[in-house]
Amino acid sequence: MKIGLLFGSFNPIHIGHLIIANYMANHTSLDKVWLVVSPQNPLKKYGDLINTYDRLEMARLATDHATNIAVSDVELRLPQPSYTIDTLTHLKEKYPEHEFALIMGSDNLGTLHKWKNYKLILRDYNIFVYPRPGYENAELASHPSVTITMTPLMELSATFIRKSIAEKKNVQYFVPDPVLKFIESKSLYR
């Protein structure tokens, strides 16, 4: 089985993430997509990241009825900070029957050269790239391991959602209903 890994903080998960995952699982050569909830991205500041287990639960709530999208907590069991190459190596050892590929935005493709062992990633894994506004011409876009997809372009961000919640604005339809209920029940992002 060919599994695409979409890494993220999912702080919170929103419809943009789900549209990307659904597109990759149904419109590419991938059979399934795993949403990998990352405890902390080594290239990002900690900022307003909420509890990892709350983010994991929201991802599970959002994908509860999905047939080819699942949530993975693999990075919660690995040493921190979690580097993509280490996660990929761990998954390859644990699930030798699967072929893993990366899913990333064109913005991340543009900074891939800063990642730990990025040349190994390019050598050993396929990378499926979805467009992000303002990041159309990444240097690695023509690499043989990279597939640029026609995933619908969305300018929705978790930052926008967190800010809206903090300002007591309605975010219905930006996040799945079960996620919104979870956020409200725990007064997250207030």
State pLDDT tens for residues 159-189: 999 999 999 999 999 999 999 999 999 999 9
In order, the DSSP letters of 35-62 are EEE-S--TTS--TT---HHHHHHHHHHH
Q: How far apart are CA 167 and CA 28, in angstroms?
A: 38
Task: Quote the pLDDT of residue 139.
Answer: 85
For the chain, how long is the longest CA-to-CA vector? Answer: 47
- Identify the weakest region by mean pLDDT among 41-45, 81-85, 126-130, 137-141: 41-45
Task: Quote the pLDDT of residue 80.
Answer: 85
Taking residues 82-111, what's their average pLDDT? Answer: 95
Please give the single-letter amino acid code of residue 87.
T
Within 10 angstroms of residue 168's Cβ, the number of other Cβ atoms is 7
Mean of pLDDT over the chain: 93
DSSP 90: H
Kindly indicate the confidence band of residue 138, based on its pLDDT and cuts at 50, 70 and 90. Answer: confident
| CA neighbor of 130 nearest in space, from 27, 12, 40, 11 | 27
Is a pLDDT exceeding 60 seen at residue 43? no
Is the separation of the CB atoms in 24 and 51 below 8 Å?
A: no
Hey, what's the torsion of the CAs at 178, 184, 185, 190, to 10 degrees? Answer: 140
Taking residues 65-84, what's their average pLDDT? Answer: 93
Is a pLDDT exceeding 60 seen at residue 46? no
Q: Is the pTM of this model over 0.95?
A: no
Q: How far apart are CA 190 and CA 187, in angstroms?
A: 6
